[in-house]
Structure 1
Amino acid sequence: MFKHLFGSMNDMLHNTMLEYPSASPSKKKELQEKLRSLKDMSDNCIEEWLLFEEKLGQFMRQNEISSLYAGGMDPLDPEFAGKRNDLFIRGQGYYKLHMFDEAISSFGEQLRQQPDFNLARIYLAMSYLQKGEEAESYTHFHFLSQLTDNLQMRAISYNAMGCIQVLKRNTEKACEFFNLAYRTDPSSVQPLLDLGVCCEKKGGLQFAFASARPGG
């Protein structure tokens, strides 16, 4: 259903983009109205989806359903037990929709209310990184690596810091962080793979999470 809807919306947008540059003034007004309608449809879809996420999350909390992971196990559950509220779920929704400014606002407010909510800090750091603000992202990952007792989260932070160093072409420092990530959480395969790619390609590495990722 959603594929069909967004497929049609994308087709309309594509056609509008093709027509707009050479359109007459009156035609441009018509196309602008079409764009406005598409934007309204998109906003409504996002809002309805976020409301659904909040409703689902509330039901899960009320019925003490900790996760919908396969097997019922959530590897990071101790980090957000009792903390994952509607604000956090909304931030997750924004992040999944690549609305990173809105995600930063939500997770930033979450951390003002709950400074020790480490999973929210991971999402905040990732949101900054997705926006290309590596310095701000690095600050949060470094803070988290010093703060958390959760080895999985610490490994994720080291891995992220290594990847940021790769973006800066600091290969030696990146390899140091990847080694730290692997020693912190040997069950995580991704940091070791990153280490091999980084050392072989001298910085030609795409950012990746560790194998254990924050859940929704």
Structure 2
Amino acid sequence: MKIEDWFQTLRSKAETIEEKWSDASEQERLQFADQLFYLRQVSDTVVDLWLQFEERLSNAIRKIKQMEGQLPAEDNHTQVAVANEASNKNTLKKEPGSAMQKSGNESVSPSKDTNPYEPMFRRGEGFYHLRMFQDAKKCFEELIQLSPDWESGRLYYAYSLLFCEEQEHAFREFRLLSRSASSPTVVSSSFNAMGCILAEEKHWLEAVQAFKSSLEVKSEQEEARYNLALCYLKDGDAQEAMDEIEKYLQKDEDDWEAQMLWLRAAQLLQTMDESTELSPPASLQLPTRDLDNDTLQEMASLYESVGNYHRAQICYHFLTERLPREGWTWHGLAWNTWLIAGTKRALTLLKKAISLAPLHDDFTFSYGWMLLFDGKVDEAMGTFRHMLEKDKDNRLGQSGMISAYEKIGELQAAKRLAKEFTEDQEPYVRSLGYFHLGRLAVVEENWRIAEQYFQRTLPHANQFREVPIYMQLCASKLGERVSITELLQP
């Protein structure tokens, strides 16, 4: 039997026990418990055997390289090749990743031909790569007591502390390394880790300085550059974030996390100043099938925010190819198709989205909205009423009815519904109510009242893109002057 098949058998046993447990009798549960205990013993044995194998394999490779002259005879076991823990678009890159793979010729380790503590190092390293951080911490803690100058061992110890959520202790170890280590890579990685700890506590200025120090020691520490950009963005410095992430993308243009960070910075800049002209990096200038799903979704959102519906449509087209059973991909494609080509082509796509997610109110609301703006008011109102029959307090359905009442001139009915929004506990819903009342006041040409309603939506003005335009209209009708930039200022 192949080892993959053997592990699959073990996984299947665990899954079967989990599935059958709730309906099992007391006797069956006792048998399942015995089986789980046996599987735990197997797991522990496998881990121990793997660690022994890893230690033997590492020793063999090192000695052969020494015999072939590829490594200095004294010692090169300080190479640290740790996996990057960052796995999503909002995560700091804590570990040194590829930069540390080159640390072997830099890090300081005991300079004996045969190091008596190497088995301990390899065991701790094995635990670390298996993400058994508590065991790794104990192993490296013992190691640095016996060999305190072993920099990569102390670095592993600091990271083990970090992933055991002992941030304060980890920070002290990283700070010690940043001040005393002779290896530029170890120093740079320590500053990067310190920056991550500070950023997670929202100490943005201190975190920025730590990431900058990491780059000053070793400019090719790309993880620190990414983290610096993310830190700037979290602190609202969109331009600085964009400048740093563009440098990062020059080295790794296909990093999807970095691509999304650039897109977020671009969105923030657009929110701050709609006149900002952005030139995306080469890898983001046109959506392609090579991009991953998260980046395509982020790009679509950015393109929609700046009114580039054709490119947003392309993104959603690629997403529907990859995720044909996800209703949101069809909804995005339908919405942008509607903005480009109108209702006829969009409704078919939207029906697909609704069929995949019939309980998704957003999709049903979009269907009614398209009908409403295509002049099919009765059908639109039927759609909104259907939503309200299932939930009379459904704000989407009520919002659709307000617009429908406005279309047919029943302004008092529209106002009654809109005023209910202004009593809601949710701030956004209250702003939506004032937005509706402002538009209704515009229809009645009550410019001062409209202006007052729109003023009350400003805390959420970025979600009501028409508000600045309405405000300018009111100011014009009242003989006043106001710029969109002034309206967007807090």
TM-score normalised by length of structure 1: 0.84
Aligned ranges 1:95-174 → 2 under 5 Å:
95-174=128-207
2:167–2:197 Cα contact (<8 Å) kept: yes
The two structures, once aligned, show a CA RMSD in angstroms of: 2.3
Shift of residue 106, structure 1, vs aligned partner: 0.7
Match of 2:483 in 1: none
Shift of residue 10, structure 1, vs aligned partner: 2.1
- Specify every segment of 5 or more residues in structure 2 that has no aligned partner in the other structure, as ranges: 82-100, 237-490
Match of 1:58 in 2: 59
CA distance in 1 between partners of 2:153 and 2:55 (Å): 16
Match of 1:93 in 2: 126
Q: Deviations over 1:54-104 (max 9, x none)?
A: 1123324444254799xxx84333423645600000000111111111111
Whether 1:39 and 2:40 are equivalent positions in the alignment is: yes
1:57–1:86 Cα contact (<8 Å) kept: no
- Specify every segment of 5 or more residues in structure 1 that has no aligned partner in the other structure, as ranges: 204-216
Shift of residue 140, structure 1, vs aligned partner: 0.7
CA distance in 2 between partners of 1:126 and 1:75 (Å): 16
Match of 1:49 in 2: 50
CA distance in 1 between partners of 2:50 and 2:215 (Å): 37
Match of 1:208 in 2: none
CA distance in 2 between partners of 1:118 and 1:194 (Å): 23
Give the partner amino acid of 2:169: E
Identity %: 25
Distance change (3 Å), C-alpha of 1:191 and 1:78: closer
Q: Deviations over 1:99-143 (max 9, x none)?
A: 111111110111011000010111111111111111111111111
Distance change (3 Å), C-alpha of 1:20 and 1:123: same
Q: Secondary structure at the match of 1:76?
A: helix
Shift of residue 144, structure 1, vs aligned partner: 0.7
CA distance in 2 between partners of 1:202 and 1:132 (Å): 24
Match of 2:29 in 1: 28
Q: Secondary structure at the match of 1:75?
A: helix
Match of 2:229 in 1: 196
- Kindly tell me the number of residue pairs found equivalent between the two proteins: 200
1:103–1:127 Cα contact (<8 Å) kept: yes
Match of 2:9 in 1: 8
Match of 1:76 in 2: 104
Give the partner amino acid of 1:52: F
Give the partner amino acid of 1:199: Y
